[in-house]
C-alpha cells in the first residue's frame, strides 16, 4: 500500500469516517421465547447503555426450527433491538449438517452450496418483507468457514464461487453488506490461513475471525499467531474483525458451554482488534448483563 493510501486511511480512522462495529451475537434458541417482551426490551437497552452498537442474529432459521410463527417473534425481537438504538445484522439460514455435507464429492458439494445460497436469499426476502429494509444494516451468512475443509484448490474455488454468488444476490436486496465468520484449529499454518481470509475477501463478503479462546484447542500463543496473521493491518484482504468468545467448553462428546469466569469475561471485553476493525462478542447469553435473563445451561 502506498504512503498516500496509508495516510488517507489514517485520516478516515481519526475523523470517524471508518466506524468500527462493537457488536454482540445473539444465537436464537427456542427457549428464548419464554422471555417476555419487556424483559427483552430492557436487555437491549442495557446492551446499548454498555456501549454495544450492533446486534447480530446468528441465524433466523436453523434446520427445521423457527417456523413462520417463530419468525414473527424474531421480527419483534429484532425491532425491539432497533428501538433500543442498536443496529441490526440479520443471520440467515443455518444447516445443522453443514460440516458433514462438506465431505460430498465435488459436483454434489457445488449443488449443495447453490442450495444454501438459495435458502439464504429466501430468508433475506422474508426479513425484508417482515421488518423492512430500513431496519436491516447487513446480512450474516450462518455457515462458518473452518481451516480444514477448504484447503485444496478445487474446494477453494467452490467456496469463493458460492460466497461471490450469494453476496451478489443479497446485495441486490438493498445494498447491505454481507458477513461471515471463520475459525481455525491448527489445520493450516497461520500464513495459509491468512491466504484463506484473502480469498474470502475477494468475494466481497466481510469475514470475522473467531479468537478460539472459548474452544481452547490451541494455546494463547498459538491463537495469537493466527489472529496476527489473519487480521493484519498491513496485509491486503485481511479479515474485517475478531469474534471474541465469552464461553468455556465443557467436557463431553456434544458441545456444551458455560460462561467464562467474570474476570476472564472482563479481559475479553477489554480486548480490541488492531487498526479500528470490528469487535464482535459471542454471545449475548454469556454476557454478565444477560445472566438471569437468557439461559445458558
Domain count for the chain: 1
Q: Please report the DSSP string for 31-44 in residue order.
A: GGGGS-HHHHHHHH
Residue 200 belongs to a domain: yes
Whole-angstrom CA distances from 80 to 56, 57, 208, 250, 275 are: 13, 13, 25, 32, 31
Question: In which band, very low, low, confident or very high, does the pLDDT at 16 lie, cut at 50, 70 and 90?
Answer: very low
* pLDDT over 70 at 14, yes or no: no
Residue 36 belongs to a domain: no
Q: What is the pLDDT of residue 226?
A: 98
Residue 251 belongs to a domain: yes
Tens of pLDDT, residues 251-293: 887 888 999 999 999 999 999 999 999 999 999 999 999 999 9
Residue 269 belongs to a domain: yes
High-pLDDT (> 70) share of the chain, %: 94
Residue 79 belongs to a domain: yes
Eight-state DSSP code of residue 215: T
Task: Tell me whether strands 93-94 and 138-140 are parallel, antiparallel or unpaired.
Answer: unpaired
What are the grid coordinates assigned to 292, written together? 438471569
What SS3 class is residue 181?
A: strand
245: CATH: 3.20.20.80
Strand locations in the chain (E): 22-26, 54-57, 61-62, 87-91, 93-94, 138-140, 178-182, 206-210, 241-245, 247-249, 257-259, 278-282
Domain residue limits at 70: 20-30+42-290
Amino acid at each position: 500500500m502506498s504512503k498516500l493510501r496509508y495516510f488517507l486511511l489514517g485520516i478516515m480512522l481519526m475523523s470517524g469516517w471508518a466506524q468500527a462495529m462493537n457488536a454482540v451475537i445473539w444465537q436464537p434458541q427456542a427457549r428464548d421465547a419464554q422471555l417476555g417482551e419487556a424483559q427483552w426490551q430492557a436487555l437491549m437497552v442495557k446492551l446499548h447503555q454498555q456501549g454495544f452498537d450492533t446486534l447480530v442474529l446468528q441465524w433466523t432459521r436453523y434446520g427445521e426450527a423457527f417456523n413462520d410463527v417463530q419468525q414473527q417473534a424474531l421480527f419483534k425481537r429484532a425491532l425491539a433491538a432497533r428501538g433500543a438504538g442498536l443496529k441490526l445484522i440479520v443471520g440467515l439460514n443455518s444447516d445443522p449438517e453443514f460440516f458433514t455435507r462438506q465431505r460430498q464429492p465435488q459436483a454434489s458439494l457445488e449443488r449443495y452450496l447453490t442450495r444454501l445460497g438459495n435458502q439464504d436469499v429466501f430468508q433475506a426476502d422474508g426479513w425484508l418483507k417482515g421488518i423492512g429494509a430500513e431496519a436491516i444494516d447487513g446480512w450474516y451468512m450462518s455457515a462458518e468457514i473452518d481451516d480444514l475443509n477448504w484447503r485444496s484448490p478445487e474446494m477453494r474455488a467452490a467456496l469463493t464461487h458460492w460466497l461471490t454468488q450469494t453476496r451478489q444476490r443479497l446485495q441486490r436486496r438493498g445494498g447491505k453488506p454481507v458477513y461471515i465468520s471463520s475459525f481455525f484449529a491448527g489445520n493450516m499454518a497461520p500464513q495459509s490461513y491468512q491466504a484463506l481470509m484473502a480469498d474470502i475477501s475477494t468475494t466481497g463478503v466481510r469475514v470475522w475471525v473467531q479468537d478460539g479462546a472459548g474452544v481452547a484447542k490451541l494455546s494463547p500463543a498459538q491463537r495469537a499467531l493466527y489472529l496476527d496473521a489473519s487480521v493484519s493491518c498491513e496485509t491486503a484482504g485481511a479479515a474485517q474483525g475478531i469474534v471474541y468468545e465469552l464461553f468455556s467448553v465443557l467436557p463431553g462428546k456434544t458441545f456444551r458451554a458455560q460462561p467464562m469466569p467474570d474476570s476472564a469475561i472482563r479481559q475479553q471485553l477489554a480486548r480490541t482488534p488492531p487498526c479500528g476493525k470490528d469487535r464482535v462478542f459471542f454471545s449475548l447469553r454469556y454476557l454478565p448483563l444477560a445472566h438471569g435473563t437468557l439461559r445458558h445451561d
